[in-house]
A and B are shown apart, each in its own frame.
Chain A
Amino acid sequence: MSAPSAASPAASAERPRRPAALSGGALRRLAAGTAAMSLTEWRKLRHDQLDLFTRSVQPLLWLFVFGTAMSRLRAIPTGGVEYRTYLAPGVMAQAAMFVAIFFGLAVIWERDVGQLQRLLATPLPRAALVLGKAAGAATRAVVQAALLLVVVAVAGIGLKWSVPRVAGALVLLALGTAVFACLSMMIASLVKERERFMGIGQLVMMPLFFASSALYPLAVMPGWLHAVATVNPLTYEVEGLRGLLLGGGHPLVDFAVTLGWLAVLAAAATKTYPRAIL
């Protein structure tokens, strides 16, 4: 192992050589840290499968109770698509958002405080803390969404089943989950009191949910809600999932908007989140 070529002999005599642990470079540390946190979440899921099943109850209720009732009423114009089919991508995205919001807020619960302090004192870039947490949330959400898709398939809800479409949907879902995980980390850095945890979670989630196209198309919304929905990242996630799983739409635009939101919120959370835990 040799010292980096950029170091001049004079400089290397002055100060000690860089520690060997830094030989990989910042981008590699970022990738390694993010991957490690995602792997960790996968391992946790394997230890606690019950959690996965209990969290699956709520989306199934939305789909099969709310969805079935609204389907009979035919109150929502879905463009000829059976309502449960229309609703399935919305429910997938909603369940993923629930995972993401509570994932980022968990730091207020003090569950993660020690771990994040540790990670801040390692050579990991600060962005890796945020992206790692987001990747952890995405891992959990994707596994949950895959299970939901199995139930949807068994129930005979007609989606366009093809490997590229389902894979694309899960990738978009992972990105969307990362967006909301970053958003909740930003909120967590502003609200440090544990007692406010549940209230803030609900305060953020429900408006995002109702001001999106998860339950009904944008066309039926009043003007102001429509305006909110067109900037709401959940709308793009849901529309993208619908485009992929039902056909139509502009999934590439939805991918681009979701990635844009991810870049903005990840950068913002990287600035605010690490400070919140000291």
Chain B
Amino acid sequence: MSAVAADGLVVRFGALTAVDGVSLEVERGEVFGLLGPNGAGKTTTLRVLTTLLRPDAGAAAVAGYDVRSDGLSVRASIGYVPQALSADGALTAWENLDFYARVTGVPKAERAARIAAAVQAMELEPLLERLARTLSGGMLRRLEIATALLNRPEVLFLDEPTVGLDPTARALVWERVHALRAEHGTTVVVTTHLMEEAERHCDRLAIMDGGQIVALGTPAELLAQHDARSLEEVFRAVTGHTIAEEGRYRDVRAQRRVARRLG
């Protein structure tokens, strides 16, 4: 049984078809990337898989549970870190962890041990007593990922986890994600619009454009298929255009705000 299986997902917002027939499978223990420009449908796909949005058509299962008929079981089996800031700046790092342990149904007797394990996995030990608002962007992302590990998720969904981070912080976030996979076999589904990052860190990836998956495979396969030296060339070959930073006023504003908070 695969960790994630989606078949023909369609999501419409009025006249706009944000996700247009997305099918994919993610194997257990894999780091799977959804790559594409803003508005390609990556986040919307993630929201269907995390049960935040109901698809208009198609089916999907996460950790073996159907996202439509057994959303509750899906939610109990996943960790999710949205792009928007989800750590509470007015609480300490430890209090953030304690909060998410309480709301994700971690039994009281196991709370301390689970928090300790997540702290170790994300290397947060020296930060626990600090208010989250005093942490750097990279520390915040690691804190958020730690809070998503407390229920021992089978699948961890990360939406643009490295947006607004400097290269050092990015590298550390990725290093911790790889360690998580190596030590616990956690399946990771990650969205990014950074080609270079996807190429280096994902086992397999789906390139999305205009709500559809336009290419799917390991980075090496994609490069070989299109006789390309970089994923940017692959993207241009399969879509006919370059990956451009676009988006409406609201998107830009939201993204800048995230970047500023994390920066």
**Residues of A with Cβ closer than 8 Å to B?**
15-16, 18-24, 29, 32-33, 35-37, 39-40, 43-44, 47-48, 110, 113-115, 117-124, 128, 278
Contact = CB atoms under 8 A, between A and B. Distances in A.
B52 interface: yes
B90 interface: yes
A20 B148 CA distance: 16
Interface string B64-106: 1100001011011110111111111011100100011011111
A121 B88 contact: no
Top 7 A-B residue pairs of the complex, sorted by shortest distance between their CB atoms: A114-B84, A114-B86, A36-B102, A19-B76, A21-B105, A121-B80, A21-B76
A21 B86 contact: no
Given A36-B103, A110-B257, A19 B88 contact: no
Contacts of A22: 72-73, 76, 105
A24 B105 contact: yes
Contacts of B50: 121
Contact of A15 (B53, B64, B83): B64
Contacts of A29: 105
A278 B47 contact: yes
Given A20-B76, A121-B51, 11 more contacts: A32-B102, A32-B105, A33-B102, A35-B102, A110-B254, A115-B85, A118-B80, A118-B86, A119-B103, A121-B50, A123-B104
Contact of A278 (B53, B75, B78): B53
A47 B100 CA distance: 19
B162 interface: no
A80 B81 CA distance: 59
B52 A120 contact: yes
Interface of B: 47, 50-53, 63-65, 70, 72-73, 75-78, 80-88, 90-92, 95, 99-100, 102-106, 131, 147-148, 151, 157, 254, 257
Contacts of B148: 118
Contacts of A37: 99, 103
25 contacts: A16-B73, A22-B73, A32-B103, A32-B105, A36-B103, A37-B103, A39-B99, A40-B95, A44-B88, A44-B91, A47-B91, A110-B254, A113-B82, A113-B84, A114-B84, A115-B85, A117-B80, A118-B81, A121-B51, A121-B75, A121-B80, A121-B157, A122-B151, A123-B75, A278-B53
B99 A40 contact: yes
B86 A117 contact: yes
B39 to A, nearest CB: 16
Contacts of B95: 40, 43
A115 B90 CA distance: 13
A133 B23 CA distance: 37
A138 to B, nearest CB: 17
A240 to B, nearest CB: 31
Contact of A114 (B63, B82, B106): B82
Q: Which of A24, A37, A118 has the most CB of B within 10 A?
A: A118
Q: Which of B80, B84, B95, B106 has the most CB of A within 10 A?
A: B84
Contacts of A119: 103
A52 B76 CA distance: 36
Contacts of B72: 22, 123
Contact of B91 (A16, A19, A43, A124): A43
A20 B193 CA distance: 35
Given A22-B76, A33-B103, A16 B65 contact: yes
A15 B1 CA distance: 11
B220 to A, nearest CB: 32
Contacts of A120: 52
A140 to B, nearest CB: 12
Contacts of B82: 113-114, 117-118
A40 to B, nearest CB: 5
A115 B88 contact: yes
A35 B81 CA distance: 23
A15 to B, nearest CB: 7
A123 B71 CA distance: 9
Contacts of A15: 64-65, 70
Q: Which of B70, B90, B105, B157 has the most CB of A within 10 A?
A: B105
